[in-house]
Amino acid sequence: MFSARVSTVAAALALMAAPHGEEPSGGAERQEASPSLVRDYVSALAAASDPDRMREGLDLTEDGSTAHDYLRHYATLFQAWEDEGAPVQDSDVQSIAEAHELCRTEEPAGRPVCVVYENFTENDGRLTGLRVNGTDPGPRLSSADDVTDDSEGVQATFLSAYRTVDDDTLVVTVDLTTVDEAGLDLDGATYVPDGSEDGEPSALSAGRHELDPGSGTLAAFYFPRAEPGGELRLEGCLAECSAVVDLDLPVPE
Distance between CA atoms of residues 9 and 167, nearest Å: 13
Per-residue pLDDT at 166: 66
Per-residue pLDDT at 98: 84
Q: 114 vs 149, which has greater pLDDT?
A: 149
Q: Note the pLDDT tens digit of each residue in 120-144.
A: 999 999 999 999 888 775 778 898 8
Distance between CA atoms of residues 161 and 141, nearest Å: 6
Is 113 exposed, middle or buried (CB count within 10 Å of its CB: 0-12, 13-18, 19+)?
middle
Q: Is the dihedral of CA 5, 67, 190, 152 positive or negative?
A: positive
Q: Is residue 19 very low, low, confident or very high in pLDDT (cuts 50, 70, 90)?
A: very low
Look up residue 47 and give its amino acid. A
Query: What does the mean pLDDT of the chain come to?
Result: 85
Residue 235 has pLDDT above 90, yes or no: yes
Q: 245 vs 140, which has greater pLDDT?
A: 245
Distance between CA atoms of residues 95 and 97, nearest Å: 6
In this structure, of 20-24, 29-33, 91-95, 249-253, the range with the lowest mean pLDDT score is 20-24
Distance between CA atoms of residues 145 and 130, nearest Å: 24
pTM of the full predicted structure? 0.85
Do 142 and 201 form a contact (C-beta atoms < 8 A)? no
Q: Note the pLDDT tens digit of each residue in 151-163.
A: 999 999 999 998 8
Per-residue pLDDT at 60: 98
Instruction: Average the pLDDT over 197-212 and give the result.
Output: 94
- DSSP β-ladder status, 126-132 and 141-143: unpaired
Residue 53 has pLDDT above 90, yes or no: yes
Residue 111 has pLDDT above 70, yes or no: no
Instruction: Average the pLDDT over 232-242 and give the result.
Output: 96
Distance between CA atoms of residues 160 and 102, nearest Å: 23
Residue 6 has pLDDT above 50, yes or no: no
Per-residue pLDDT at 103: 86
Q: Is the dihedral of CA 195, 196, 199, 200 positive or negative?
A: negative
Residue 28 has pLDDT above 70, yes or no: no
Q: 108 vs 19, which has greater pLDDT?
A: 108
